[in-house]
Amino acid sequence: MRIKLAAVAMAGAATGTAALKPPPIAMGLGGRCGSPKDSSSITGKPLPTIPGTQSFLNLVEAMEDMQKCWFEHSAGTWPTGIDWTRAVMGAHLAATLRVISKDYTQHGPYDGNIDNVIGRYFGHLISYYFGEDTFALRGQAYDDILWVAMGWLETIQLINEQPAVVTDQGVEEWYGADWRPTFAHRARIFWELGEKGWDTTLCGGGMNWNPKLEPYKNAITNELWISASIGMYHHFPGDNDSSPWRFFDAKSPKQRVLSRQVLPPSDRVFLESAEKGYKWLLESGMRHWEGMRKDLFADGFHIGGRKEGNTKCNLLDPMVYTYNQGVILSGLLGLYTATGKEEYLDEGHGLIRAVIRATGWDIEAQKPIGDISKHGPGRFPPWKGLGRYGILEEECDLPRTCNQDSEAFKGILMHHLGTFCAPNSTLDLSGKIENPNQTEYDRLHGKHQVNCKLYLPWLEHNCKAVLNTRDKYGRFGGWWFPGLLKDTNVRLLYVPPEAIPPNRGVDDYRNNGVPRNSTMWQLEENVHTEERGKNHKRENTWPAPTEGFYISGEAGAPEDPSLWGRGRTLETQGSAIGLLRAHWLVSQIP
């Protein structure tokens, strides 16, 4: 059966006035969610004692709702996604399954049928292996390419963590292990494609972002390169298969997609790529630049004056996105477990603290800066660089001008923060360090856990907000802050015009589609094969409001900001999952 993509029609643009009529909920997104839930099962459910089972159940429910509402079995994909966000959703799914399979015995609702749960969603991942549009992705930017490698590395870890099965015939690997070489092969192909993005002719190194455009060396591509490379070092099981390409020898290097016939596990090339990449990123000046948000990663560097012979990274794009503060964290953890160098952990914690500070959270006092209950008309928690009132926020969230890309960003930050701070994340030195000094590693492990534990109240605060953005199908909103209103006496909160950031959240190349060549854009072919060729228009962004407006924390109220812009989407769901997982993992640190 051919599936029909319901149009993601969001009629009308948000003008942002109090009288704003919210656009209708995009039915294409909710049509497959089934019946609305009993309200007692979702909205308004307070987070019970934390750490606690409820937090685990919230994560599981968010994942199941994502699959129910947005995954299409017959296509093996999330049809409303775009190639790179689908790869990220695959990672969120695999990461959640890793949590379920580890923690269900104590916390799951699944007594006795855990195999069914893991098996069901592992089946989704298998079908996504076939539904992933690798042909399109191979021609996309290096960051798009590397999300693919990252996603399958997550799934390989899921496989590796499943217990063996004891049968009459002896001990057998979990049945999913049959897929390990296949997924590894895909991770390898996309890692090797990514490898071609490393360029030494400009800026003394670094990953270039997109081979089809003017050179741009940005944070995300470099962070992905570091994290994917060290992920390969730790988790890639090796691959000798060069299909679907014939492996061409050095006589015709242009024909080659893979650079090597055989790529063994734990190859030094992975570690060296990650180390070199991190060194370059640190020295690039992308972090610690001058400006309001100087502890955070700016977006990247253009190279001005190339005609005059300049080869230096000299034009900084100072836009600060949440995900640029995240992806590097799993890379830093991997670099630590590969080398035992304390500095990698310290740098990760420094970055997380900078993020937390920029959301308007006082980590010493463990509370948000300001008091929302005292905010009457004319008072609204101010923007702190990456959020307000302790809640992580993308600059496009408040004006609801986020495009599909930026809706996924917060969850990516949280995903990598969760990986960095997962219980015992620093214990697994993977046997890659010779003669480790156990006393020293125990010390570093203890210090890491103490640091991570400090982030729990902030994560909990964000969870409270995001859980209140759910609608009756369990779908999460994109802007988390309004969820806090529900727990206060504030029914409507006035957002003054001066709180509306300049319309920079839309400053993203993907608004125009994807690059066709160095001068032209084209709309992304963002749906699976049978849709290709049709003039499928990518949902665009909405103009930022110009006047003040009221928001409500009540899901479904006319002032519910989750309805504006693109509404509740696959990507906003994924972002909530990233946060709920991070919260759960950190809550499990003793």
Written as one string, the DSSP assignment of 68-94 is HHH-BTTTTB-TTS-HHHHHHHHHHHH
Pick 216 or 549: Cβ nearer ligand NAG: 216
**83/74 Cα distance (integer angstroms):** 17
With beta carbons less than 8 A apart as the criterion, state whether 301 and 216 touch: yes
Q: List phi, psi (to 5°) of 441.
A: -70, -35
- Decide: 554 and 386 in contact? Cβ < 8 Å: no
**Which C-beta is closer to ligand NAG: that of 282 or that of 427?**
427
The distance of closest approach from Cβ of residue 243 to ligand NAG in the complex, given in angstroms and rounded to an integer, is: 13
Q: How far is the CB of 87 from ligand NAG (least distance, A)?
A: 23
Query: Is the CB of 201 or the CB of 517 nearer to ligand NAG?
Result: 517
Q: Which long-range contacts (CB under 8 A, 24 or more apart) does 346-353 make?
A: 348/420, 349/448, 349/451, 350/295, 351/287, 351/295, 351/296, 351/297, 351/325, 352/417, 352/420, 352/455
CB of 435 to ligand NAG, least distance (A): 9
Q: Which is nearer to ligand NAG, 7 or 262 (CB)?
A: 262
Distance CA 347, CA 46 (A): 34
**Residue 418: φ, ψ to 5°:** -60, -40
Q: How far is the CB of 411 from ligand NAG (least distance, A)?
A: 23
At 565, give phi and psi (nearest 5°): 60, -130
Rounded distance between C-alpha atoms, residue 60 and residue 115, angstroms: 15
Nearer to ligand NAG (CB atom), residue 119 or residue 181: 181
Contact residues for ligand NAG (CB under 6 A)? 238-240, 262, 423-424, 427, 437, 439-440, 443, 516-520, 588
Q: Which two tokens stand for residue 415?
A: 């995903």
Which CB atom, from 436 or from 497, has the smaller least distance to ligand NAG? 436
What is the length of the chain?
Answer: 590
Q: How far is the CB of 522 from ligand NAG (least distance, A)?
A: 8
CB of 36 to ligand NAG, least distance (A): 36
What is the nearest approach in angstroms of ligand NAG to the Cβ of residue 423? Answer: 4
Q: Which is nearer to ligand NAG, 74 or 437 (CB)?
A: 437
Residues 6+ apart with CB under 8 A from 53: 106, 107
Q: How far is the CB of 306 from ligand NAG (least distance, A)?
A: 16
Is 240 or 430 the residue whose CB approaches ligand NAG more closely?
A: 240
